[in-house]
Amino acid sequence: MFPTTDGSKAKKGLIKPQTGLESIAPLVRTVEETPEPMVTTVHGTIPSWINGNFLRNGPGRFEFGNTHYNHWFDGMAMLHRFKIQKGQVTYMSRFLQSDAYRRNSERDRIMVSEFGTLAMPDPCKNFFQRFLSRFERMEPTDNASVNFVKYEGDYYVSTETNFMYKVNLDNMESSEKVDWSKFIAVNGATAHPHYDPDGTSYNMGNSYGSK
């Protein structure tokens, strides 16, 4: 029996005790990449007809030097591949070599603003330059950390801005940066397109300006 808000008793099993949210600390923890495929231990049996790549994308690094991201969406993209073949599974992962990742790594500090984190002005600038930098237009990030998408047989990683990266599934390295806005009049698009059986892709973008 569990107490109700009015002091009466409820039937056992109808009201569950509130225990709070589970810790989300593991979700915002920086991890190392695994660039070479490693053999995993399979518990149970994988059906013989299941073969291929299971792909996942998400944040994997949350700090550079003494600076850290404030939101889970902001972590640098890490690409994961579970290769399933003949009942065995190998795993590998790589950080997406985006411009944001490279700039942050080179300076060992957050240089590119993300969804919930504003990059601080360059400390090498003088006081007046740092003040003016607060009014500069924020450039969209190319940290494509949300999803894998497929267009015309090729695989890309994408986010909600106008950038995505083509990925080679053999080594999980990015080979081409694509700017949507050069082909379609949008400033950004969702990272979750829908597909028709004939291969046609559908997505929703946005275009905004002064009017």
- 195-208 mean pLDDT: 88
Q: Which residues are 30's β-sheet partners?
A: none
SS3 breakdown of the chain: % helix, strand, coil, rounded to 5? 10, 35, 55
Per-residue burial over 141-156, b if 16 or more Cβ lie within 10 Å, else e, is bbbbbbbbbebeeebb
- Tell me the pLDDT tens digit for each residue of 92-109: 999 999 999 999 999 999
Q: Which residue has the higher pLDDT, 52 or 188?
A: 52
Q: Across the chain, what does the average pLDDT equal? A: 84
Q: Model pTM? A: 0.79
Strands 2-3 and 9-10: antiparallel
80 is in an annotated binding site: no
% of the chain beyond a pLDDT of 90: 59
